[in-house]
Amino acid sequence: MANIVSFIIQKGGCGKTTTTVNSAGYLARQGYKVLAVDMDPQGNMTQHFGYDSDALENSLVHLFLKKKPFDEVLIKREENLHILPNNIEMTTVEYTLYKSMSREYILRDILTPVMNEYDFILIDCPPNLGILSINSLVASTEFMLVVSPEFFPMRAIKPLYETYLMIKSKLNHTLQLKGVVMTMCDFRTRHAQEVRNILQKNFPHKLYQAFIRNNVALKEAASRGQSIFEFDPRSIGAFDYQNFAEEFLREYEPARKKRQYYDNFFSNLANQEQHDILQFAKKNLTAYIQHRLEWHENAPVLREALIIERNKILEKIKPYRNYSIHDE
């Protein structure tokens, strides 16, 4: 059954869409089956995946109004990456929904029949706490707060948290806060560091160690209609989103098992082999990261990046897929 995760904050321009698209892109590349849902009438996620949202014949609107079947609206962008697109027409639905019964459950009812077909359903929320965001949270198993280090997003957290508690008590008892991720960070500024400290204090177990730095390649990828892994897999943005997605995955049982498998496999290799593999893995990192690794070998984010590259190499030697089929 799919893990359904909403990427949310009701302040605009914090990186929700960028985070949804690149997480979906990364997870799909790792072999997970992913459905990305654009719940924002701005249609930014749809555009970021390369579609002209205004020219869509079918969109989420038609599912909300029960005018088209699911398969007709679904875009199969890649084998592992499916999309429910959206556009401005959705604003009309938003209005009529206020008057209808069970208006909070519409997205949940749309997703329930396909839940078993995906490993992850990622939902890009609009920048408000209106009925579409409520629908997203009601349909979700978890939600991820996406925060840029500014004053206004911080002010948005309290009302959002109250909304979460309301939804949890009345509409979706199993909803969980999955994590808090900081985007568009520049920790050379004192302010960004201060925001991180506040988040750390308020969400000690939920603030992600991975964070997303400012990186123009992320903007360019969006304008080309590609994920960062398609546009420039060696950019800082790709590095940061890879770290984020790996941290995001780590709490799920299958991902934990896979990680454990590679850790065991690696520790049973001869010292020389371990050394060679790590050297090779280092070469696959960007020059920037290689350089930083030399000076900050123990920085968790860098060490993690090296392990991720290492595991990619181990995967080629002894794929986990084969192991899980034959040895378990």
For 128-146, b/e burial (b = at least 16 CB within 10 A) is ebebbbbbbbbbbbbbbbb
Q: Decide: helix, strand or coil at residue 312.
A: helix
The footprint of ligand ATP on this chain (CB under 6 A) covers a number of residues equal to 19
> Binding string, 37-66, against Mg ion, x = CB under 5 A?
-------x----------------------
CA distance linking residue 79 with residue 321, whole number of Å: 18
Determine the interface stretch with ligand ATP among 155-163, 210-218, 226-234, 255-263 (rule: CB under 6 A): 210-218
Among 97, 138, 147, 222, interactor with ligand ATP by CB under 6 A: 222
Distance between the two ends of the chain, CA-based, in angstroms? 21
What DSSP letter does each residue of 42-93 carry, written as one string? T-HHHHHTT--GGG-SS-HHHHHTT-S-HHHH-EEEETTEEEE---TTHHHH
DSSP type of residue 213:
B
Q: Is 233 in the site for ligand ATP (CB under 6 A)?
A: no
Q: What is the CA radius of gyration of the chain?
A: 20
Q: x/- binding map, residues 107-146, to ligand ATP, per CB under 6 A? A: --------------------x-------------------
Of 183 and 215, the one with the shorter C-beta distance to Mg ion is 183
Contact between 16 and Mg ion per CB under 5 A: yes
Beta-bridge partner residues of 38: 124
Does 22 bind Mg ion (CB under 5 A)? Our answer is no
Q: Which of 6, 16, 59, 139 binds ligand ATP (CB under 6 A)?
A: 16
Q: Shortest distance, CB of residue 14 to Mg ion, whole angstroms?
A: 8
Q: Which residues are at the interface with ligand ATP (CB under 6 A)?
A: 12-18, 40, 42, 44, 127, 183-184, 212, 214-215, 218-219, 222
Q: Which residues are at the interface with Mg ion (CB under 5 A)?
A: 16-17, 44
